[in-house]
Structure 1
Amino acid sequence: MPKPTGWTRFREWVLVWVCGSMLGALAADAVIGSYNAGISPIKPSLFTLGSVFFCIVVALFNRPKLCLATVGIALLPAVRFFDATVLRRFDSSFQDQITMDLARMMMVLVAMIAVLSTEKWQKTALWAAVCAMLLTTGSEIYEMMGFATFSSIPGRYAGFNSHPNFPPVLLCEMLGIVFALSKNFKFNCLMIAVAVPGVGLTYGRSGMIVLALVCGAYILLNARRNMGFLIIVSCIAVPLLVGGTAILQSGTQKGVMKDKNTADRLEAIYNLDFEKLKSPERVKDLSDAWEAVQQKPVFGHGTGISGTIYAPHNEYVSLWLEMGIPGLLLFVGTWLWLITRSVLTGGKAGYLVFALIAYTPFGQGRIEVPHFSLAMVAAACVLWPKRYGFTLRSLKAEEARPEPHAMGVR
């Protein structure tokens, strides 16, 4: 095998560390969050356009070979984009902004597919996931210390993501990428340690449950081969968890007043009180959205209605509401496709697929955010490793090539 040249090493370094950092920043909404908080002067639209262009150019220099499964991943976002821009079945004063957001996501998705089509895609995706986790948890801690305000909900920290419901989803998805691409148990435990405070500071009920399931399953399935390390880690982790719990509980106090929202959330999680885990507001929102689905069950109301008029907090109802039965079938079919492939390949990317699917009953709007696209593209690349390259050949050169017998080959 020929030794890589200096140019080869340089373009691979740029791909992994620069493009990976850009994808991680996009996934964490770092530029948008810091710009909205008045910290960064960089306009998010310019950063997105520049990152997309740079990543695609660098990917082309690294001779990409397409994973065809990523085309399937891009199908639903492309259909929604077409529905919003061309068909425009739903129209409102926010529709132009919705169209711009969908266009942005399509560009980011194309850049992610291009970068993850290269030979060094695993290192790049792994670093992008780690970078997104560090930025998310770091920004939440930064907010908790009072240096900035990112969250739209008082008492709950959100970091760059602005809404506290998004960091737990991002952290679980990125942790799934780490588990799928890294075989280093100690490093993966370190990333669990990064994710735990990031989820805890949001006081997210579903986020804490999904994180506990993902991490618990991963540690239990690898405990036998790493028992000594786990014993040492437990001696460190247990006091930290106790201290972290005390910090979360103290965070529900505001002087002599108690924040009932965050306090009730913690109490419901600690006591596994499923009645308190339910949100009456979300039940009402879901009921309203379901009534709207019944009005146009076949083809839906059009892309954009979910999130502007209705907020079902359920991705199945959200897609059905917008795109009808065809959109719902496409959405469900994507999950069945990933689950079946994971099972047939011996559970490859199992943690990642679970982290993606676990939020569908109480999630909303994930299909429009970069971290979801990164996780989906990474899952497709892990589950379908075969790649297809494209070459251009001159027809005249083919015609001018001598026949084998003319070169003495029989």
Structure 2
Amino acid sequence: MLRPTGWTRFREWVLVWVCGSMLGALAADAVIGSYDTGLQPIKPSLFTVVAVFTCIMVSLVNKPRLCLATLVIALLPAVRLFDAAVLRRFDSSFQDQITMDLARTMLVLLAIIAVLSTEKWEKTALWAAICAMLLTTGSEIYEMLGFAKFSSIPGRYAGFNSHPNFPPVLLCEMLGIVFALSKNFRFNCLMIAVAVPGVALTYGRSGMIVLALLCGSYILLNARRNFGFLMIVTAIALPLLGIGAAVLESGTQHGVMKDKNTADRLEAIYDLDFEKLKSPERLKDLSDAWEAVQQKPLFGHGTGISGTIYAPHNEYVSLWLELGIPGLVLFAGTWLWLIARSVLTGGRAGYLVFALLAYTPFGQGRIEVPHFSFAMVAAACVLWPKRYQLTLRSLKQAPQTSAAFTPPHPQTLSRQG
């Protein structure tokens, strides 16, 4: 077996640590969040262009082999971009900005597909997920300590993501990638410890429930083989959880005043009161969006109306509202496709698929953010490991005789497993 050359080691190092860090920063919205609060001067648009260009160029020198399933993941974002930029069935004063955001999402998605098409994609994706988790939870703790103000909602911390509803989604998705790519149970428990405060500080009801289901099922299914380690972790974690609960409780107090929003959220989670866990405002938003769906159920109102005029907080209704039944079928079909593949492969990437699917009934706008694209492409790459590479081959021509003639060999598409 040939030892890797210095050039090979260098390009692989750049791929894993430089491109992985860039994807992690994009997933965590670290550059946008830090720029908006004045922590650093790099413009997010400039960073996105540099990151996309760097990732694609570095991927090309690392001999990429395409996972065809990732093209299916890119289909819905491409349809939405075409609808917004060319068809423009929904028009508003924000449409140009919406189109630019969708174009940015598509560029980042292409960069993710390029990076995850390389030989070292697993190591790169794992580091990118870890990086995104550290940046997200770290920025929330930084905000909690009073060094910066990121959150758009008083009393709830959001970190770089600016809205407290996004960090739990990101952390659960990245944790799903860690579970899919890392077989080290102890390391994965460490990453759970990173995710827990990041979700808790947002006071997100759905986020805490999904994280509890995700981590609880992972720990239970691996408890028998790691019983001794879990006993030690439990002895350490219980006091820390008590301290964390006290910190969250104190966060609902502002002097002699109590923040009713965060206090009610915390009480509902502690008591597992499903009536209190419901949000009357979201139910009203969902009802309004559903009425709009019924007005144009076949082809929808056009990309951009969800989030601009309506906020259904439900991804199925959101896609139906914009793209009609074809968009809904494409979106739901993608989930069925991923679930079926995971089941047929013995539960491969099951935690990741669950983390992605769990937020669809009460999520909105995920399809436009980098961490969702990253998690979806990672799931496709784990579930479909076969890769394909476009190559040009020229076979040596046999000596020509009067009886036979061998034409040049055409371009071939060679499959590599």
Task: Show the 5 A alignment for 1:179-258.
Answer: 179-258=179-258
Structure 2 length normalisation: TM-score? 0.95
Aligned-partner Cα distance in 1 for 2:273–2:399 = 78
CA offset digits 1:301-329 (Å, max 9, x no partner): 00000000000000000000000000000
TM-aligned CA distance change 1:401 to 1:127, over 3 Å = farther
Residue 105 of structure 1 corresponds to 105
Q: Distance in 1 between matches of 2:332 and 2:201?
A: 32
Aligned match of 1:302 = 302
Q: Residue 398 of structure 1 corresponds to which residue in structure 2?
A: 395
* Cα offset, 1:277, TM superposition: 0.3
1:249 and 1:270 mapped to 2: Cα distance? 11
For 1:87 and 1:260, the matched residues in 2 are separated by 45
Cα-to-partner distance string for 1:40-75 (whole Å, 9 max, x where unaligned): 100000000000000000000000000000000000
Distance 1:133 1:213 in 2: 18
Distance across 1 between alignment mates of 2:321 and 2:235: 49
CA offset at residue 157 of structure 1?
Answer: 0.2
- For 1:128, give the aligned amino acid: A
Distance 2:328 2:33 in 1: 31
Counterpart of 1:117 in 2: which secondary structure? coil
Q: 1:368 to 1:402 in 2, by over 3 A?
A: farther
The answer for the alignment partner of 2:146 in structure 1 is: 146
The secondary structure found in structure 1 opposite 2:246 is helix
Over 3 Å counting, the alpha-carbon distance change for 1:215 and 1:93 in structure 2 is same
- 1:389 partner SS: strand
1:35 alignment partner in structure 2 = 35
Cα–Cα, structure 1 residues 116 and 402, in superposed 2: closer, same or farther, change >3 Å?
Answer: farther
- Give the distance between the partners of 2:243 and 2:147, measured in 1 at CA: 22
| 2:407 alignment partner in structure 1 | none
Aligned-residue offset at 1:3: 0.9
Equivalent runs, 1:8-157 vs 2, <5 Å = 8-157=8-157
Q: Which residue of 1 aligns with 2:365?
A: 365
Deviations 1:219-264 (A, max 9, x none): 0000000000000000100000010000000000000000000000
Residue 183 of structure 1, CA deviation? 0.1
The alpha carbon displacement at 1:399 in A equals 5.8
Give the drift of 1:195: 0.1
* 1:296-375 alignment, distance < 5 Å: 296-375=296-375
Residue 280 of structure 1 deviates from its aligned partner by 0.6
Using the TM superposition, give the Cα deviation of residue 216 of structure 1 relative to its aligned residue in structure 2, in angstroms: 0.1
Q: Distance in 2 between matches of 1:238 and 1:68?
A: 45
What is the CA distance between 1:2 and its match in structure 2? Answer: 1.2
Aligned partner of residue 390 in structure 1, secondary structure: strand
Deviation at 1:129, TM superposition (A): 0.2
Q: 1:101, 1:12 → 2: CA distance?
A: 31
Q: Distance in 2 between matches of 1:401 and 1:260?
A: 84
Q: Provide the C-alpha distance between the structure 2 equivalents of 1:383 and 1:204, rounded to a whole number of angstroms.
A: 30
Q: Please provide the CA RMSD for this pair.
A: 1.0
CA distance in 2: counterparts of 1:97 and 1:336, whole angstroms: 32
1:2 and 1:57 map into 2 onto residues whose CA distance is 25
1:398 CA displacement: 3.5
Aligned partners of 1:297, 1:275: CA distance in 2, in Å? 31
The corresponding residue for 1:407 is none
Change (3 A) 1:401 1:144: farther
Match of 2:381 in 1: 381
The 1:402–1:211 alpha-carbon spacing in structure 2 relative to 1, beyond 3 Å, is farther
C-alpha separation in 2, matches of 1:258 and 1:55: 47
Would you say how many aligned residue pairs link Structure 1 and Structure 2? 401
Letter in 2 for 1:230: L
* 2:289 is the counterpart of 1:292: no
CA distance in 1, matches of 2:385, 2:258: 52
2:262 equivalent to 1:265: no
The 2-side partners of 1:155 and 1:221 are apart by 36
Q: What do the CA deviations read for 1:110-154 (whole angstroms, capped 9, x no partner)?
A: 000000000000000000000000000000000000000000000
Measured in 2, the distance between the counterparts of 1:351 and 1:245 equals 26
TM-score by length of 1: 0.97
Cα distance in 2 between the residues matched to 1:257 and 1:402: 93
SS of structure 2 residue aligned to 1:388: strand
Shift of 1:402: 5.5
Aligned-pair identity (%): 85
Cα distance in 2 for residues equivalent to 1:399 and 1:177: 45
2:403 is matched with which residue?
Answer: none
Offset at residue 30 of structure 1 (A): 0.2
Q: Which runs of 5+ in 2 are unaligned?
A: 401-417
- Other structure's SS at 2:391 match: coil
Provide the secondary structure at the position in 1 that maps to 2:74: helix
Report how far residue 392 of structure 1 moved.
Answer: 2.1
1:4 maps to 4
Cα-to-partner distance string for 1:155-198 (whole Å, 9 max, x where unaligned): 00000000000000000000000000000000000000000000
Q: Aligned residue for 1:408?
A: none
Q: Tell me by how many angstroms 1:401 deviates.
A: 5.6
Residue identity in the other structure for 2:365? G
Shift of 1:381: 0.2
Structure 1 distance, partners of 2:399, 2:76, is 48
